[in-house]
Structure 1
Amino acid sequence: MKFYLSSNFLMKGAPIFSIMVHCFYGVDSFQEQIHPLNEKYPFQLFLNSVIHNGMCNDTAITDFDFIPSQNVVFRRSTNVGKDIGGKFVLLDTYLRLGIKTKYIVFIHDKKSPHLVNGSKWFDNLIRIVEPTLVDEIINSFERNNKIGIIASRGSVMKEASSPGYFESNNGRLLSQLQKKYDVYPIDLAYVAGTMFWVRSDIITKFFQRFHPLEIRASLEEGNILDNEAGTITHSWERLLSWIVTSQGYHIKEV
């Protein structure tokens, strides 16, 4: 995997947050939401594009020419771990470049063909980068230092469990991963769809200890579905939230 820096990588002013985008289909669904943010907020954009059959999709630096004053970092990767694997690629980049912003925002393109209301699900998840909500999100973090994650309303679910075990197909793997990474939240809530804001110091501290690309190497390849027998990839959909909540922080919906 390689990463590419735009020519305007060095920006004026301190970025408040980093937006990390995993892109499997294309960037059209993100430009409309991200474009207005450029007018108000200093931020850094990280984008990972998936290589299909040896070819990368048409994502290019020119797709983000509307952010001339911002940092833009591009990565290319194979389809491993779906959007979870893409997030690990971008977290690796963030750490390697020594970038520090107060918050990280995880988003990705999502079609969910296995869901009847897949497009509505995506539209709800992506609300977290709408300019009308960003002020509310940042203010919520500033007012309450125990909020670790902020996600769109209706996206927070709770892993089913009984005393001593998880009830889902991912149960066995979740127990193994909890033990390996010492992630034991009291509340088993997590952000389904893995699009959320998070305090960067919480999540980067974990991945400085456990390297994101080493974890990515354990994930499954291809377009696996959550209704299959348990997968490490979908187990990490839970653990990404639990990394934060296991340290005493909670999740807020907006």
Structure 2
Amino acid sequence: MMVEQVSIFFHSYYGKNRDWLLYLNALRGQTDRLYYNVVRSSYYQIGESGDGMGVKHTIDYMPGTNLIWQRSSTDQGKDIGGKLILIDVALKTNDKADYWLFAHDKKSPHHEMGQEWAENSRRLLQKEFIEQAKRVFRDDASVSVVCQKEFIREETDDRYITFFTHHHDQDLRSHFSDLKVGMPYAAGTMFLAKAEGLRLFFQKNPALTIRGRLEKGDVMDNNMVTETHAWERGFSWILLCQGGNIKGV
């Protein structure tokens, strides 16, 4: 049986990079890639050489360093912006993985459910979950996104639908033309997905161009639509608008 490769895309804002890197490196398979971004301007990173030097030192002493790519960035677009940077790296380094796993050190301190979300989101980063997701993909060819079932949301705000269906970019507008209220997505942009559909999309719609439109700083979506939070939904919708489905486990 052919080995199915999983590339891990991880965005770090709250530090503890050594712990995360060692954990993620142990999580990935021998031929799997790890892409890791740190927000260098984060208060939590400053004491850990968050400019990338401390991270680089850790990576240099880990096995499989030839399959690890690390970047540092501003906080533009929050974790979405960081993941877009890493997608750009993946495309430029000819990533051929079967699946892409997106995650970040989620905390949401501003939300009353933030701590519970943070604890629940850790399940995604376990070998058991990844293997379970792979089985879902093998058993049902229509599924293109697998996430934790408690993180599936159905969009009720038609402004986020309109953001894409009336986008000024014709290619984006065309891709998302079938979006409707009620379309599900993986909240928090933490999920495992079939990589080929994402590669095709971002080859046509450059990740760094999309990131360049995202808001800077700790943007919130209270009573307003933001580019950043639109793309939190858009990551899932890329694949659903290609005819795929989302499944929670």
Indicate the TM-score class for this superposition, using the shorter chain for normalisation: 0.7 to 0.9
| Alpha-carbon shift at residue 30 of structure 1 (Å) | 3.3
Q: Which residue is 1:155 aligned to? A: 151
- 2:231 maps to which of 224, 229, 236: 236
Write 1 or 2 for the structure with the bigger share of helix. 2
Q: Which aligned pairs between 1:207-218 and structure 2 lie closer than 5 A?
A: 207-218=202-213
1:173 aligns with 2:169: no
| Alpha-carbon shift at residue 62 of structure 1 (Å) | 3.9
Identity of aligned pairs, percent?
30
TM-score by length of 1: 0.82
Q: Which residue is 1:49 aligned to? A: 38
| Alpha-carbon shift at residue 37 of structure 1 (Å) | 2.0
Distance 1:41 1:177 in 2: 41
Q: Which aligned pairs between 1:1-254 and structure 2 lie closer than 5 A?
A: 16-26=5-15, 27=17, 30-31=20-21, 33-34=23-24, 36-38=26-28, 42-52=31-41, 57=50, 59-64=54-59, 67-69=62-64, 71-161=67-157, 166=158, 170=160, 172-177=162-167, 180=170, 181=172, 182=174, 183=176, 184-185=178-179, 188-254=183-249
Which stretches of structure 1, 4 residues or more, deviate above 6 A after TM superposition?
Answer: none
Deviations 1:117-147 (A, max 9, x none): 2122022223122112221111111121111
Write 1 or 2 for the structure with the bigger share of strand. 1
Deviations 1:147-202 (A, max 9, x none): 100001210101115xxxx1x5x465344339740213455111110000111100
Distance 1:74 1:199 in 2: 22
Instruction: In structure 2, list runs of 5 or more residues that go unmatched.
Output: none
Distance 2:195 2:24 in 1: 20
Across the aligned residues of Structure 1 and Structure 2, the Cα RMSD in angstroms comes to: 2.7
* Cα contact 1:125–1:151 (8 A) shared by 2: no
Q: 1:212 to 1:35 in 2, by over 3 A?
A: closer
The aligned amino acid for 1:94 is: A
